[in-house]
Each structure stands twice: as C-alpha cells, then as structure tokens.
Amino acid sequence: MSNRTLPAWIDIGLIPLINICLAFIVSAGVIMLIGESPLEAVQVMLFGAFGYGEGIGYTLYYATNFIFTGLAVAVAFHAGLFNIGGEGQAYLGGLGVGLICLMLDSWLPWWALLPFAIVAGALFGAAWAYIPAYLQAYRGSHIVITTIMFNFIASALMVYLLVNVLIEPGSMSPQTRSLAEGATLPYMYQVFAAFGIEIEQSPLNVSLILALLACVLVWLLIWHTRWGYAIRMIGFNEKAAVYSGINTRRTIVISMCISGALAAMVGINEVMGAQQRVLLEFVAGAGFTGIAVSLMGRNHPLGIIAASILFGALYQGGAELSFEISTITRDLVVVIQGLVILFCGALAYMLKPTLEKLFLRYTLSKAARRDNLAEEAQS
Amino acid sequence: MNDVLLMLVSILDSTIRVSTPLILCAMAGVFSERSGIVDIGLEGKMLAGAFAAAATAAVTGSAWLGLGCAIIVSVGMALLHGFACITHRGNQVVSGLAINILASGLTVTLGIAWFAQGGQTPQLSGDARFAALEFPGAAAVADVPVIGAIYSELLSGHNLLVYIALLAVPLTWWVIFRSRFGLRLRAVGENPQAVDTAGISVAWLRYRAVMCAGLLCGIAGTYLSTAQNAAFLKDMSAGKGYIALAALIFGKWHPKAALFACLLFGFLEALSVRLQGVQLPVIGEVPVQLMQALPYVLTVILLAGFIGKAIAPKAIGIPYNKER
C-alpha cells in the first residue's frame, strides 16, 4: 500500500459515512430476514424519534446519556486508552449522585444541590476509573481487561448495596427511596413552561445543557490546554511523549479519571433527573453505546453530539418500533449498535485501500489528461 | 461424616457442571490469544452458539444437528473477527466487543421472529438434549461408602459435553505444546515477523487459530442451551465468556492452569449458591455478590502482579503488518 493519503474530506467524511451506511444496510438485511419491511421500520423509527414532541424529548433524553459516555470514551481514546469501563463508572457515579442527594435533598433545592451532586458523582466515577488507570500506568496490567472486570465488580457491588444497604425500608424492589420533590432536576418542559412555551412532557431534563457544556469543556481541554496536548501526544506516540518530558503515567491516570468522571454524569441525568432514585441497572448499556458513539463521532465533541442524537433516535425509534411491529423488539437496536461498532470501529479501514486506488486512478487520469492537453497546446 | 462427604461431593459435582462452559471457552481463548488475537468475543460466540444449537434442536429434534449448527455459527463469527482484525487489521478489542453486542441482540431478535416466545426457544426434550451418561456399574456401587458416592455422583452422570470439555484440556495442551501447528501458533503470538520470515503465512495461521476458538465456543454454547438448560434464554451466557477470559488470564494463557482457574471459579459459584443465607461461624453471612465478583477481583489482583505475574503473548493485540 502506498503511503499517499487521501484528502481529508474522504478520510473523515466519506469513509465513516460509507461505513455507517454499510451498518444500516446489514441492519436492513436483518429486518428482512425476520420478515418485516425495512422501509416501514425506518418510517416508524423516524416518526417515533422525531415525529412528535414527546418522541423528540425521549430522543434527546437518551442522547444526553450517550454524549456523556461518548465523551468519556473519547477522552481516554485520545490518550491511547480504550475505556470499556464506562458502564461501571456510570453506575458508581450514579451511586455518588444518589448518596449526596439522599443526604441533602430535604435541605437544598435542586440548583444548590446540583454542584454537590456533580462533584460527588464525578469523584465516584473518577475513583472507579482511577484503579484500572493506576494499575495500567504503574503496574502494567492491561486497561481493557481491568475495566471489563471492573464493570462486573461494579455491578455486583451495586446489587449488594441496593439489596442489603440502600433499599427503601419496607420496599420489595431493590431501589432507594425517591428523592424529595424540590431536589430533582427540572424537566425541560417545565423550563420551557417558565418562559411561556408549551412543549410536550418527556424525561428530558436540564442535564442536556450540562452535556452540551461538557462537550465544550472537553473540546477546550483536548485541543486548547497543556494537559490536552499531553493527552493527545501520548495517544499519538507514547515514546515521543516520554522523550519530550511528559509524565506519561500521571497523564494516563488523569485522563482516565476525567473519563470516569464524564461517564459518571449519566448518574445526574438518570438518578437526579429521570428516575429520581438509584435503582438497579439504570445505566442500561449507555457505557457500551458510548463506545459506538465515540467511534462514530471520530472522538470529536461535534461528532459525538451528532452520533448521540442518532443513537438516541435509534433507542426511541426502537421503542416505538416494538409497539408498532410485534415481531421487532428493542433488541434490534442492540443489533444495529453492534453493527455500527463493527463497521465504524473494527472494519473502519476496510474500504480505505479501495478508495485510495479509485482516488489515485481518478487523479492520475486527470493529470494525464492535463498533460495531454498541455502537449497538444505546445505542438 | 458421611453427610459432609455427600455435601462435598455434590458441591464438586455442581462445580464440574458450572465449569464446563468456562473450560471450553478458556481453551478457545488459549488458541486465539496464543496466536496473538485478543478474544473478548468469547461471550458472543458462546451465546450465538447456544441459540443456534437450541433453535436447530427445537426444529429438527436432534441435539447433534444442534451441535453442528452451533459450531458453524460460532466459527462464522470467529471468521468475522478474523476478517476484521487479521485481514483488515482492525482493533481486536472493538471487533470482539461488536461480536458480543451483535450476538446479544441478534439471538433475541431472531428468536422472537422464529419462535414468538419472547426470544426463547421452545423447551427441548428427549433427543433434542444431551442426556446424562451413566458409567457402567454406577448404580451398583452407589451404596459403597466414599468411593461409591464419588464414582456414581461425581464422575458418572454428566452429559457427553462435560467429558468433551475435560478432554479438550489435554488435547489443547498437546496441540499447543507438542504439535507443529502449535509451535507455529505460539511463535506467531510472540513474534509474527519471525514466522513470516520462515515463509509461513501469519494470516492463515491466525485464521486457523480463531477457527479453533470458534469451534470450542460453539460446543460451550451447545452445552448451555441443550445440556445444562433445555432451551435458549435471553442473554443466557450471562458473563460466562468474560469469566472464562478472566480464567484464561488467571491461568496465564496455559491450558492446565486455565483448567484449574475455571474449576476454582466454578467452585466459587457452586459454593455461593450453597452458602446463600447461611450463617457461617466468625464471618457471618457471606454476600452472594462477593462470591460472584471474586473471579474478577482475583484476576485484577493477578494482573497487577500481586500474586505472581501473568505474562501475555508478546504480539497480542497488535495487527501484523507485513510491510513494516
């Protein structure tokens, strides 16, 4: 293969687009395999996700989680680390948010409680990411394996806590008591109502603003600070980073902690916003979806926002689909998610050699024609 | 005295039952990871195999056809993994993860479409399942103290796949450490350049390694749905693939050590079922969740180098690029 690279628009625009299309084409094949019409499914999904107010609300509510976990994966990725532990970090982060809210919710209104909740959640999530990061940086154990293990440990720990310790007395299901009314995050429809605009009710809450804020902060951190430079340098070439005097071990730990803290913000959206209590499995795979989101969004906040909305639409549209067509359930969304990870991640460069060849042939033939023209003009 | 023995035998008996899919998957991992291909997709291949086996067995009524189908599907997924990370040098972790997610979604989606039972397959019975094999004379010696219980309870009375799993370990050991294919496979996991220089195809070796892994995962899946259970259930692998991965690392990528790790993890699980709600002297009640998390915790501690050192094959996770 030649080292000649493609122009940027093909590399970061066209190739991901083709890969996503491939993932969707295969998904359509799956829908046909189970005897339904892909076109009808797409229609139902699109309408369910964007066709009416409540649908849009749900889409953006799911997207909020995915922005957080997508950013989490991306920050680690810039440092060359693959954080599969978003699920566990979000889970533990939710525990932090829940604990501080349960402690303070009778005294503080939501706007005073929110900073504490963010800090507590971030600390818990970062702490859960710190251990694998420390082990990777200082003891040489592989971060992928340890974060997988930590997902399971987090899950076991949370089941234990919710069943034995934090369970609401007298309750049968493993969940904490509900938060006090004034302590939960306002829904977006309430915010809009305060300005006199009517929108339909949905679990979408002010954490969406927090998510967009996080995107800006991550963008500033990665591309406009010394730390971000160090992080990207490690991801680009760790040896070069060592020789240029960057403390790679400390930077690895820091970027993983930031990653864990970002994943933990799922806890704000779920625990303080939508569910208003800590319950089992509230992360519901958002940590893994974050991987797809980050791969699809090419680790850039703007790409992540777009990919999050797409996945939010898939989740909400998938829910709608399972209402409309009885043979399709939300598991179809899991299939699509797997295919997106496959094509945008593992097979990301499948088409590159082919496109390179096509592009070279095109440019060469253009150059040859130009030369011909020039010769003709001379003669 | 006899009661203690009986309890011990029955815990060990369930240890073997629980460990079987772990052993098969861990051996699959030995093949794949020794050749330098990270295999996080053990879980997905096993789950897909479990579904294929149960679906085929439900339709045809034959457990053997189920096994064959499970192996085909699982090897197919292994080839997909190989296509992504051997041919196209994709990220092996991402590819494995994609396979796991794909399998978890696809099995349920197809299950609902084909059987309309909420993602399950119909209950299997008779020839559609792998039945227990009774050793000759097991019933006759059952009353003989100690030996009788061990022979008739612990050794006899499992299904064929359990014995296949136990046979897979020495077989894997032999292939990896005594055969020419195994020598090359280990070499390609340590130093692919050297293998390439010797004129042996790195890609084809690695493809064969992941196919071996697919085969074993298919058997593991078949065990789950047609031997241990009598139907496919949604997400029935329930993290067993990851425990097998943990056991593989805990066993330092060595078949024998991985076998013992699997048995240890299986024993913990069997014990945790037994200990549920039991007050132990001094420690009190042991939380089930602690026992469930123990394999993962132990693996993390091992990886951190606190109990011995787990050294992975050198070229693991690195796609081989001939032109560099």
pLDDT tens profile B193-204: 999 999 999 999
pLDDT beyond 70 at B324: no
Find out whether B175 and B205 touch, Cβ atoms under 8 Å: no
Distance from the Cα of B167 to chain A's closest Cα (Å) equals: 28
pLDDT at B244: 94
B314 contact A CB<8A: no
- Smallest Cα distance from B208 to chain A, Å: 20
Closest residue of chain B to A345, computed from CA coordinates: B94
Work out the minimum CA distance from B283 to partner chain A, whole angstroms: 17
Lowest mean pLDDT among A2-11, A37-46, B100-109, B131-140: A2-11
| Closest CB to B112 among A132, A150, A327 | A327
Q: What is the pLDDT of residue A149?
A: 92
A279 bridge partner residues: A175
pLDDT at B217: 97
Residue A270 has pLDDT above 50, yes or no: yes
Selecting from B95, B98, B304 the residue whose C-beta is nearest the C-beta of A141 gives B304
User: pLDDT tens-digit profile of A132-155?
Assistant: 999 999 988 889 989 999 999 999
Q: CB distance B95–A164 less than 8 Å? A: no
* pLDDT at B101 exceeding the cut of 90: yes
Q: Quick one: pLDDT band at residue A1, thresholds 50, 70, 90?
A: very low
- With contact defined as beta carbons under 8 Å apart, do A311 and A66 qualify? yes
Asked if residue B224 lies in contact with residue B17, where contact means CB atoms within 8 angstroms, the answer is: no
Average pLDDT over residues A77-106: 94
What pLDDT was estimated at residue A2? Answer: 42
User: Is residue B251 scored above 80 in pLDDT?
Assistant: yes
Highest mean pLDDT range out of A164-178, B121-135, B274-288? A164-178
Q: What is the mean pLDDT of residues B129-156?
A: 76
| CB contact at 8 A, B174 and B33 | no
- Do the Cβ atoms of B124 and B106 come closer than 8 Å? no
With a cut of 50, say whether residue B170 has pLDDT above it. yes
- Residue of higher predicted confidence among B151 and A86: A86
At residue B127, the pLDDT reads 83
- When CB atoms are compared, the residue of A1, A150, A334 closest to B323 is A1
Work out the mean pLDDT of chain B and round it to a whole number.
Answer: 89
At residue B269, the pLDDT reads: 87
Q: What proportion of chain B, given as a percentage, has pLDDT over 90?
A: 58
| Residue of chain A minimizing CA distance to B245 | A145
Residue A15 has pLDDT above 90, yes or no: no
Structure confidence at residue A4 (pLDDT)? 54
With CB atoms and an 8 Å threshold, state whether B101 touches A295: no
**Token reading at A135:** 């082990």
Cα–Cα distance, A279 to A315 (Å, whole number): 20
What is the rounded CA–CA span in Å between residue A20 and residue A133? 31
3-state DSSP call for residue A327? coil
**Closest approach of chain B CAs to the CA of A234, in angstroms?**
18
How far does B252 lie from chain A, in Å, by closest CA? 13
Are A156 and B292 within 8 A, CB to CB?
yes
Contact A332 B95 (CB under 8 A): no
Q: Mean pLDDT lowest for which of A166-175, A200-209, B42-51, B127-136?
A: B127-136
Q: How far apart are CA B25 and CA B23, in angstroms?
A: 5
Contact B293 A153 (CB under 8 A): yes
Nearest to B138 by CA among B150, B164, B156: B156
If pLDDT is split at 50, 70 and 90, which confidence band does B152 have?
confident
Tell whether the model's pLDDT for residue A321 goes beyond 60. Answer: yes
How crowded is residue A365: how many other Cβ atoms within 10 Å of its Cβ? Answer: 10
Q: What is the complex's ipTM, to 2 decimals?
A: 0.89
User: Which run of H or of E encompasses A315?
Assistant: helix A301-324
pLDDT value at residue A3: 47
Rounded to two decimals, the pTM is: 0.90
Residues of B in contact with A346 (CB under 8 A): 84-85, 88, 90-92, 94-95, 98
One DSSP character per residue, B157-226 reads S-BHHHHHHHHHHHHHHHHHHHSHHHHHHHHHHH-HHHHHHTT--HHHHHHHHHHHHHHHHHHHHHIIII
Among B41, B43, B40, B51, smallest CA distance to B21 is for B43
Is the pLDDT at A84 greater than 70? The verdict is: yes
Q: What is the pLDDT of residue B141?
A: 74
| Residue B45 pLDDT exceeds 70 | yes
Nearest alpha-carbon partner for A270 in A152, A93, A83: A93
Q: How far apart are CA B213 and CA B25, in angstroms?
A: 8
User: Any idea of the CA torsion for B52, B53, B56, B62, to the nearest 10 degrees?
Assistant: 170
In this structure, of A35-39, A162-166, B320-324, the range with the lowest mean pLDDT score is B320-324
For range A240-253, the mean pLDDT: 92
Stated as kind and residue range, the H or E segment containing B280 is strand B279-280
Of the candidates A151, A101, A160, which has an alpha carbon nearest to the alpha carbon of residue A125?
A: A151
Q: Which of B39, B47, B57 is nearest to B237 (CA)?
A: B47
A316 pLDDT band, cuts 50/70/90, is very high
Residue A82 has pLDDT above 70, yes or no: yes
Those residues whose C-beta lies under 8 Å from the C-beta of residue A129, and which sit 6 or more positions away, are A83, A85, A89, A147, A256, A257, A259, A260, A261, A263
Per residue in A218-233, pLDDT tens?
Answer: 999 999 999 999 999 9
**Of B53-62, B94-103, B168-177, B278-287, which gets the smallest average pLDDT?**
B278-287
Q: Is A35 left (phi over 0), alpha (psi -120 to 50) or beta?
A: left
Output the average pLDDT for chain A: 91
Q: Which residues of A touch B114 (CB under 8 A)?
A: 34
pLDDT number for residue B138: 73
Which regions of A3-99 does DSSP assign to beta strands (E)?
none
Whether residue B109 and residue A288 make contact (CB cut-off 8 A), yes or no, is no
CA–CA gap between residue A160 and residue A142 (Å, rounded): 27
Measured in angstroms, the CA of A259 and the nearest CA of chain B are apart by: 18
Is B109 at the interface with chain A, CB within 8 A? yes
pLDDT bracket for residue B1 (50, 70, 90):
low
Give kind and range of the element (H or E) at residue A25: helix A15-33
Select the residue of B83, B98, B249 nearest A345 (Cβ to Cβ).
B98
- Comparison of pLDDT for A335 and A356, the residue scoring more: A335
The answer to whether residue B295 scores a pLDDT higher than 80 is: yes
Residues 6 or more apart whose CB falls under 8 angstroms from that of A172 comprise none
**CA–CA separation, B73 vs B47, rounded Å?**
10
Does the pLDDT of residue A273 top 70, yes or no?
A: yes
Which residue in the set A82, A153, A335 is minimally distant from B93, CB to CB?
A82
- Interface contact flag, B303 A157, Cβ < 8 Å: no
